[in-house]
């Protein structure tokens, strides 16, 4: 059960909780900066289980199933800096504007999150202050440093999607997600569509917008970086073998993209 309110609602992470940010390859030499907003499914101890059954806390409503393994392996293969967030999107969604109703969801797909009902302002502020803000502050710091040092930077936001949402099957294996960048997404889509065995979605299963996304609009578009989101279907990366295969494939494709961007003097 949810325990919030038992202690000081202005505090969230305690002694038994890990920091929200997971990083790998901070000194990586790749132009690609990888982010993963829905990497983990931890819940701060003070929140208990948010009122949910254990099987709800391992499915897609809690995190992007499989993406952590892909992100870790891709970061290594590309020698790319990865910045990821370890807490569940049910605690606070790090890819939503903090004032959006879905930032701290009370309903996800058909599941009511009772631990998020009637949340006091202070408790919601603690989730922003202790999870959302440090994660995004770190991404900002890293981009600031890279721009200051003249390091080429292309933002790639890694996600995964459930194969069936609200009863509707999604056929794509992978999708590019973008809004304002006209340079990286078409190149990425062209290379994904050149893979004979893939059905690649163009802004499918959904598109990026300022209302429903945070990382791409704020860290990619507002900073003038080339950027794209990637969404991989979760059944393809449910186990370690699938995660490794997709990391291998994406590392090869991003290698080709880097060559193309350098040839065009875009990085
Ligand atoms: Zn996601």
Write out pLDDT tens, residues 113-170. 999 998 989 999 999 999 999 999 999 999 999 999 999 999 999 999 999 998 999 9
Cα separation of 158 and 38, whole Å?
Answer: 8
Q: Are 155 and 216 in contact (CB under 8 A)?
A: yes
Ligand 1 centroid to Cα of residue 264, in Å, is: 31
Q: Which residues are close to ligand 1, an ion, with C-beta < 5 A?
A: 38, 64, 159
**CA 55 to ligand 1 center in whole angstroms:** 19
Query: Is residue 262 pLDDT above 80, yes or no?
Result: yes
**Percentage of the chain lying above the pLDDT 90 cut:** 92
State the pLDDT at residue 5.
45
> Has residue 195 got a pLDDT over 50?
yes
- Tell how far the Cα of 73 is from the centroid of ligand 1, in angstroms: 17
CA–CA distance, 230 with 161 (Å, rounded to integer): 10
Q: What is the mean pLDDT of residues 195-202?
A: 97
Tell me how far the alpha carbon of residue 36 lies from the centroid of ligand 1, in angstroms: 7
C-alpha to C-alpha distance for 26 and 179, rounded to whole angstroms: 27
List pLDDT tens digits, range 13-40.
999 999 999 999 999 999 999 999 999 9
Residue 2 pLDDT > 80, yes or no? no
- Tokens 């710091």, located at residue: 141
Tell how strand 174-177 and strand 226-233 pair up: antiparallel
Q: What is the pLDDT of residue 109?
A: 87
Residue 260, both tokens? 């193309």
Q: What's the CA-to-centroid distance between 123 and ligand 1, angstroms?
A: 23
Which token pair is 201?
Answer: 């979605």
pLDDT at position 6 is 52
What is the predicted pLDDT for the residue at 1?
A: 47
Give the list of residues 6+ apart from residue 263 with CB closer than 8 angstroms, or none.
none
Taking residues 225-250, report their average pLDDT: 98
Q: Which residue has the tokens 């507002």?
A: 222
Determine if the peptide bond prior to 205 is cis (ω within 30°). Answer: yes
Distance 19 CA to ligand 1 centre (A): 19
H-run or E-run covering 118:
none
CA distance 112 to 215: 26
């Amino acid at each position: 059960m949810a325990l919030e309110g038992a202690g000081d609602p202005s505090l969230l992470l305690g002694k038994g909780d890990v920091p929200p940010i997971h990083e790998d390859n901070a000194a990586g030499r790749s132009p690609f900066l990888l982010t993963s907003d829905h990497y983990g499914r931890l819940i701060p101890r003070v929140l208990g289980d948010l009122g949910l059954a254990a099987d709800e806390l391992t499915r897609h409503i809690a995190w992007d199933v499989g993406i952590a393994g892909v992100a870790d392996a891709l970061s290594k293969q590309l020698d790319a800096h990865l910045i990821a967030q370890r807490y569940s999107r049910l605690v606070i969604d790090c890819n939503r504007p903090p004032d959006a109703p879905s930032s701290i969801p009370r309903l996800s797909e058909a599941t009511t999150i009772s631990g998020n009902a009637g949340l006091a302002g202070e408790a919601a502020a603690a989730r922003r202050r202790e999870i959302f803000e440090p994660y995004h502050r770190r991404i900002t710091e890293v981009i600031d440093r890279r721009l200051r040092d003249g390091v080429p930077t292309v933002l790639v936001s890694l996600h995964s999607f459930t194969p069936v949402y609200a009863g509707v099957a999604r056929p794509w294996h992978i999708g590019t997600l973008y809004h304002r960048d006209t340079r990286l997404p078409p190149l990425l889509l062209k290379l994904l569509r050149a893979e004979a065995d893939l059905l690649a979605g163009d802004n499918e299963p959904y598109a990026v917008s300022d209302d429903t996304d945070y990382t791409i609009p704020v860290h990619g578009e507002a900073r003038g970086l080339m950027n794209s989101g990637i969404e991989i279907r979760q059944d393809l990366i449910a186990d370690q073998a699938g995660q490794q295969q997709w990391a291998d494939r994406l590392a090869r494709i991003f290698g080709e993209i880097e060559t193309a961007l350098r040839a065009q003097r875009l990085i």
